[in-house]
Amino acid sequence: MANVSIREVHKRYDDFHAVKGVSLDIRDQEFLVLVGPSGCGKTTTLRMVAGLESITEGQILIGDTVVNELPPMDRDIAMVFQNYALYPHMSVYDNMAFGLKMRKFQKPEIRKRVEQAADILGISDHLKRKPRQLSGGQRQRVALGRAIVRNPQVFLFDEPLSNLDAKLRVQMRVEIKKLHQRLATTSIYVTHDQVEAMTLGDRVVVMKDGLIQQVGEPLELYNHPANKYVAGFIGSPAMNFADVKITSAGDRLVAENGAMRIAVPDAMRQRLAPHAGKPATLGIRPEDLRMANGSDPAETTFEAVVEVAEQLGSEVILDLSAGNSTMVASVEPTVRVKPQEKIRLAVNPAGLRFFDAASEAAI
Amino acid sequence: MIEGGVWRRWVFFRIPLALFLIFLLFPFYWMVITTFRPDNELYIAWQRPTYTPFWTWHPTLDHIRFLFRETAFATWLWNTMFISICSTIISLICGVLAGYALSRLNFPFAGGLGTTIFITYLVPQTLLFIPLSEIIRNYNLGDTPWALILTYPTFLIPFCTWLMMGYFKAIPKELEECARIDGASRWKAMLYIVIPVAVPGILSAGIFAFTLSWNEFIYALVFLSSPQQKTVPVGVVSELIRGDVFFWGALMAGALLGSIPVAIAYSFFVEHYVSGLTGSVKG
């Protein structure tokens, strides 16, 4: 077990600056998820920790050792790849035993460890098979098994579930979570799927264009996104954004554009006061919108036109247009609306988020 | 498959295929039939009523016997085998290592180097034998098997390198990266993971290289002179065509026996060979 320290790390390719000064401290036993769109530098960062990419600038420490110049084999890490990377010419047993053989473990010890790992992952019956005889889920289990037999200091996961179908992905996600609870090995997990990030991570790092946007616990990211990008990335369906202007109305502040005029809650007034008279971006999560009823004050509601209503059983997802902006609302399953119908929506005032129009940082 | 009535399948598929097969296999058939045809049948005029060009009633092993008794055919076979195997092994070792390096190690000019190697393959042998013969003479290698063992790689190595380069590129690099994280050095990862996975590709390259050197003619003709040193293609042609006299029976017997090892090599490896061409590494 060990903590991992990434200090001001840069990665430059010939004409591309892939990672632009990333600093992270991953605590011992922590499960840290790097999430972001493709090309954001998350995989490059992980590969630098693994030793598969050289570090252009900065330092990476595993435990107390600077590993910049150490080859992958000497870093005491294990990695699970998106395409499983199972050795096709070896049986499942040999795949899992390979790392131990390379490290000159005794045969009985190898057998004990492989059988134990196979038992944990439920692949004991397949040890003699070749990888091509296994299903996708089984292959990924073998890849996990190959990682855990060595009992390394750090696990690295590079989008391990992306090749699986949706149902299996959910199942394996739970298994990875269980595995981490059981082994408590420091883990770094890369994914582009924010649901995976939210469910697996003790902490989540949102990256974009080689830079860290925000680091925090999943709920912190959800409730207090540092900027518009994180707000839009975390949560499904994604947060709605509307360009508004903050104006003073007597002793209150309102956010308004052509389609809506919504009062700023008292708790936010102080923070927003310097922005009065300036443009801003208003963010509302779909789950913070509901159908308005007669008792809702006018300053927390606005009118919108239904474009599409998606009935999911547990909720109804409404695609709406309000003025120039399109919105998505997640409302109670009993709501029945038709396309082109005009409805009134009420916002949950506590769910309102404001972002600076220019810097996109949260206000 | 071809849709529609039975006649369509015959007209557009079976009959053309049959014609194509006949066209393709007839030379081999002719070779076999001539090998076993006695001389008195071989050299009769075609107008004679007893002339049966497509079969023989009196098959004979005379030509094969002649080949082994009157010429150094056994020696030629041995020479060809020895030279082909040695040059194939040399070329495979160099080709596998070079192909690996060009496809996996990111060194400067790797791409350009790969193209250059391919271009050397395109230099025709009919030009290259001139400077090569100069080199052979300077090193006193003329009329020894080494003249060919060391010159065949000039076209075999580029060929193997290029083929292996493509094959290595098709192997996911994660396999190797995973091995290196698992505790293997670059060299061990290549030895235990990449090369075993590339066996079909190596076999295809080997079979091609073996066939190319087995059938090679011009270098063998130029660099070897004494009958004892010759290879099958050159020996058969130079010893069995004397002036304008063609020993057709023995020539065909030589061609037949000369093509058998290649046919065996092909059929022996055909399973790997086919999968080598179609690529066999899937996640």
Greater model confidence, A266 or A212: A212
pLDDT at B274: 58
* Region A287-298 average pLDDT: 87
Inter-chain CB proximity A83 and B172 less than 8 Å: yes
Min Cα–Cα distance to chain A from B182, Å:
4
pTM above 0.90, yes or no: no
Is B283 an interface residue toward A (CB < 8 Å)? Answer: yes
Reported as a pLDDT band with limits 50, 70 and 90, residue B276 is low
Output the pLDDT for position B123.
Answer: 87
CA-based nearest distance B105→chain A, Å: 13
The size of the A-B interface in CB pairs under 8 A is 71
Mean of the pLDDT values across residues A224-228?
Answer: 92
pLDDT in tens, A172-202: 999 999 999 999 999 999 999 999 999 999 9
Give the chain A residue nearest B182 (alpha carbons).
A99
ipTM surpassing 0.90: no
Q: What's the pLDDT score for residue B279?
A: 45
pLDDT of B8 above 90: no
Band (pLDDT 50/70/90 cuts) for residue A164 is confident
Note whether A77 contacts B181, CB cutoff 8 Å: yes
Interface of B with A in 150-179 (CB under 8 A): 172, 174-175, 177-179
Give me the percent of chain A exceeding a pLDDT of 70: 100
- pLDDT value of residue A324: 82
- Mean pLDDT for B58-75 is 89
> What are the pLDDT digits (tens) for B121-163?
888 888 889 999 999 999 999 899 999 999 999 999 999 999 9
Task: Answer whether B283 sits within 8 Å of A71, measured CB to CB.
Answer: no
Beta carbons within 8 Å of A183's beta carbon, 6+ residues apart: A148
The string of pLDDT tens digits covering residues A229-253 is: 999 999 888 999 998 888 887 778 8
What angle, 0 to 180 degrees and rounded to 10, lies between the N-to-C axes of helices B153-170 and B110-122?
140
Position B280 scores a pLDDT of: 43
Tokens of B171: 């192997």
Q: Are A236 and A192 in contact (CB under 8 A)?
A: no
CA dist., res. B227 & res. B12, Å (int):
51
CB B249 within 8 A of CB B39: yes
**What does the pLDDT look like over A69-99, one tens digit per residue?**
999 999 999 999 988 899 998 999 999 999 9
Would you call B177 and A89 a contact, using CB atoms and an 8 Å cutoff?
no
* The token pair that represents B47 in the structure block: 């107008």
Residue of A nearest to B173 (CA): A85
Nearest to A73 among B172, B181, B199 (CB): B181
Largest CA distance in chain B: 79
In chain B, residues with a C-beta closer than 8 Å to the C-beta of A50 are 177, 181
Taking the CA of residue B173 and the nearest CA in chain A, the distance in Å comes to: 8
SS3 of residue B220 by DSSP: helix
Indicate the residue of A71, A72, A87 with minimum beta-carbon distance to B193. Answer: A87
Supply the pLDDT for residue A323: 82
